[in-house]
Amino acid sequence: MKIVFFGSPAIALVSLKRIMEEGHRIELVISQPDKPTGRGKKLIPTPLKRFAQDLNIPVYQPVKIRKDQIALEKIKKINPDLNVVVAYGQIIPSSIIFLPKYNSINVHFSLLPKYRGASPIQWALLNGERKTGVTIFELNERMDEGDILAKEEVDIHPEEGASELEARLAQKGAELLVKTIANIGKIKPQKQDHSQATYAPRIKKEDGRIKWEKNAIFIERLVKAYTPWPSAYTFLADRRIKILKGKKEAFKGQSSSPGEILEVKKRGIEVCCGDASVFLIENLQPENKKPMSAYSFSLGAKIRPGDRFI
């Protein structure tokens, strides 16, 4: 089958590789433009672009695909059987969606209609969900509202964060995708129940700042959801610190202000949170430093009970 593949981050790469293993022909990869990164603002290509170029697969990177006539002409020339979209990052116009023989399908990393939007994995963790999953659906111009072709549930393990969950969902999504492609045109699409829709808007960098007045359960979820990006972070005086790992601790019965350090021990740094709950910081990363245990940091920074994260 001739396929045009739309995707940008590493999670989409798993699906692309799996499609190719099945013998489908990837005629074109459409990906987001290179992004300036780091202090030097060096342009960095997406993982999909790097992979495609290594295999001499043509790549096109429209800034705004809805207004890009070149993308439409390239796809018309290919005359694909199917467009496959996995975490592309832009809304695709109907002129492209309905161009192939079998139109366009999307892999979404939630159980639609729950968690429509750009950040379903993070929001599922942030909300303390015990289950999530993968949905393959027919694309239309509305955000994640198309008819469902396939859906598979996945348990969220108690200790896993966004990276681990993303890796499992990427594999599950790739397998479900190739099964769906094998039966494309034979599956009866199912309408979504729009009354049950929930949303997962795009996560922003500033969302990762820890508000210590929240309870420790919420902060534990936030650390899991936002590691590695955008990262959960806090400040000690004017020093920015990423919190990489931590968990809710047993109630201490102490009345302290949110953010105040209660105790420093080898297991980590105990911090007072909202509702007098306690969060144990286990691993962290000071700005411009390598990741380390919270205890190692406390020795170097001479942290004492009564100091405060803000």
Do 166 and 69 share a domain, yes or no? yes
Radius of gyration of the chain (CA): 22
Do 53 and 182 share a domain, yes or no? yes
Whether residue 260 is contained in a domain is answered as yes
At position 87, the amino acid (one-letter code) is A
| Residue range(s) defining the domain that contains residue 118 | 2-196
Q: What is the pTM of this model?
A: 0.93
**Phi/psi-derived region of residue 274, left when phi > 0, alpha when psi is between -120 and 50, beta in every other case:** beta
What is the pLDDT at residue 253? 65
Of 171, 192, 199, 30, the C-alpha closest to 99 is 30
Do 60 and 106 share a domain, yes or no? yes
What is the pLDDT at residue 280? 98
What is the pLDDT at residue 250? 84
SS3 state of residue 241 = strand
Task: Name the domain boundary from 172, 196, 220.
Answer: 196
Do 28 and 148 share a domain, yes or no? yes
What is the spatial distance between Cα 231 and Cα 10, in angstroms, rounded to a whole number? 18
CATH number of residue 140's parent domain? 3.40.50.170
HSE value, Cβ hemisphere, 13 Å, CA-based, for 75: 31
What is the pLDDT at residue 36? 87
Spans of the chain below 70 pLDDT: 253-255
What is the pLDDT at residue 38? 75
CATH number of residue 213's parent domain? 3.10.25.10
